[in-house]
């Protein structure tokens, strides 16, 4: 299997996990602050990848400690705090749509800082997928920007910047294991600091066993997400990987229809068809990452 094919399969798996997680999390009524919940999950996952990193990267020096700190503090910490703050200031649908524009910002940053080049076919495929996103979320399109919308947009751009830095250091030889550890563990320390400052830590003591079980399931899904995403990103251009993730809301719609009997509206169906077509065309185009990095996830 070529590294490009491996990367596409891994990111497709990321989209599947993300799509299913959106449906599964509807059952997890936790009554706990989302920042605190994210901190707990990130700490557990970061600890797992700490062990993986110690085993796989023994004796290897980090490519860039400042870059790893940026990935953790900005992508794993600040962006999450901004986005969850935005959710309290705007409608969830508006924030969700803004978050789904991440491929646009990731592509811009990838072209500028990673020198990624897009063929005409790849540009056309991306435009088809993005037009499907617009159609699918037409009712959630922001009519004028609110303060919460700007916060959500800022968080989305920070996530795009974090992915750009992650891609850059992996292209220079950094392992996806250390990148994932940095993103989750350092991010968890930031979020726990915020939760402590806001006096939210006692909420953990009030959780019931069933809530901890739900947190465990949610953590396992997030573990699968970050594992496949950073591993796949190692082998694909950032613009391609981030666009393939647009399959996530389509899969959520399908899972909701099959598992929960949720209705599918015409706009959702039409938008989903365009996203599927765009991602299919993008996956078919040859020409993965040409950074010269190793073929294996070291």
Inform me whether the pLDDT recorded for 133 exceeds 70: yes
**pLDDT for the residue numbered 94:** 86
What pLDDT score does 288 carry? 53
**pLDDT value, residue 210:** 87
Return the sign of the alpha-carbon dihedral for residues 120, 126, 129, 130: negative
Q: pLDDT confidence of 1, banded at 50, 70, 90?
A: confident
| pLDDT at 31 > cutoff 80 | no
The lowest-confidence range among 9-13, 163-167, 256-260 is 256-260
249 occurs within a structural domain:
yes
Indicate whether 181 belongs to any domain. Answer: yes
- What percent of the chain is modeled with pLDDT above 90? 77
Between 188 and 34, name the one with better pLDDT: 188
Is 296 part of a structural domain of the chain? no
Q: At what angle do helices 3-24 and 247-260 cross, to 10 degrees?
A: 50
Distance CA 75, CA 147 (A): 21
pLDDT band, very low/low/confident/very high, at 150 (cuts 50, 70, 90): very high
**Cα–Cα distance measured from residue 207 to residue 35, given in angstroms and rounded to the nearest whole number:** 15
Tell me the per-residue pLDDT of 242-263, one tens digit each, with 9 for 90 and over: 999 999 999 999 999 998 888 9
Q: How large is the average pLDDT for residues 80-102? A: 90
For the cut 70, the answer to whether the pLDDT of residue 63 exceeds it is yes
Higher pLDDT among residues 46 and 284, named by residue: 46
Q: Does residue 257 contact residue 264 with C-beta atoms inside 8 Å?
A: yes
Whether 195 is in a domain gets the answer: yes
Given a cut of 80, is residue 13 above it in pLDDT?
yes
With bands split at pLDDT 50, 70 and 90, how would you rate the model's confidence at 293? very low
Residue 290: the pLDDT is: 44
Range of the domain at 135: 3-284
CA distance 230 to 14: 9
pLDDT on residue 108 = 96
What mean pLDDT is predicted for residues 45-66?
Answer: 95
Look at residue 295 and tell me if it is in a domain. Answer: no
In a domain, 122, yes or no: yes
Task: Count CB-CB contacts under 10 A for residue 297.
Answer: 18
Q: CA–CA distance from 52 to each of 6, 38, 265 (Å)? A: 20, 21, 44
Number of other residues whose CB lies within 10 A of the CB of residue 222: 20
Asked, for residue 143, whether it belongs to a domain, the answer is: yes
pLDDT, tens digit (0-9, with 9 covering 90-100), for 65-79: 999 999 999 999 999
Q: What is the pTM of this model?
A: 0.92
Please state, rounded to an integer, the average pLDDT across all residues of the chain. 91
Residue with the bigger pLDDT between 143 and 151: it is 151
pLDDT attached to residue 298: 41
Residue 246 confidence (pLDDT)? 95
Q: How many domains does the chain have?
A: 1
Q: Is residue 291 part of a domain?
A: no
Average pLDDT of the segment spanning 111-128 = 95
């Amino acid at each position: 299997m070529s590294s490009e094919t491996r990367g596409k399969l891994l990111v497709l798996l990321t989209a599947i996990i993300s799509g299913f997680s959106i449906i599964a999390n509807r059952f997890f009524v936790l009554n706990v602050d989302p920042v605190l919940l994210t901190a707990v999950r990130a700490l557990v996952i970061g600890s797992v990848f700490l062990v993986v990193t110690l085993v796989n990267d023994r004796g290897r020096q980090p490519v860039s400690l400042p870059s790893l700190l940026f990935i953790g503090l900005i992508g794993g910490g600040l962006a999450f705090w901004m986005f969850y703050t935005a959710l309290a200031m705007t409608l969830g649908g508006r924030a969700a749509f803004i978050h789904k524009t991440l491929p646009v910002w990731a592509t811009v940053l990838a072209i500028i800082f990673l020198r990624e080049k897009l063929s005409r076919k790849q540009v056309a495929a991306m435009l088809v997928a993005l037009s499907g996103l617009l159609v699918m979320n037409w009712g959630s399109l922001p009519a004028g920007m609110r303060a919460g919308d700007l916060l959500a947009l800022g968080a989305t751009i920070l996530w795009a910047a974090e992915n750009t830095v992650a891609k850059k250091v992996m292209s220079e030889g950094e392992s996806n294991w250390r990148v994932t550890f940095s993103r989750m563990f350092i991010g968890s320390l930031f979020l726990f600091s915020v939760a402590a400052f806001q006096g939210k830590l006692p909420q953990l003591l009030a959780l019931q066993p069933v809530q901890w079980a739900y947190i465990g399931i949610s953590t396992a899904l997030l573990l699968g997400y970050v594992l496949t995403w950073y591993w796949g990103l190692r082998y694909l251009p950032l613009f391609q990987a981030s666009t393939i993730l647009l399959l996530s809301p389509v899969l959520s719609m399908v899972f909701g229809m099959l598992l929960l009997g949720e209705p599918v509206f015409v706009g959702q169906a039409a938008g989903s068809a365009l996203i599927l077509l765009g991602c299919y065309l993008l996956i078919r185009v040859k020409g993965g990452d040409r950074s010269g990095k190793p073929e294996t996830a070291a």
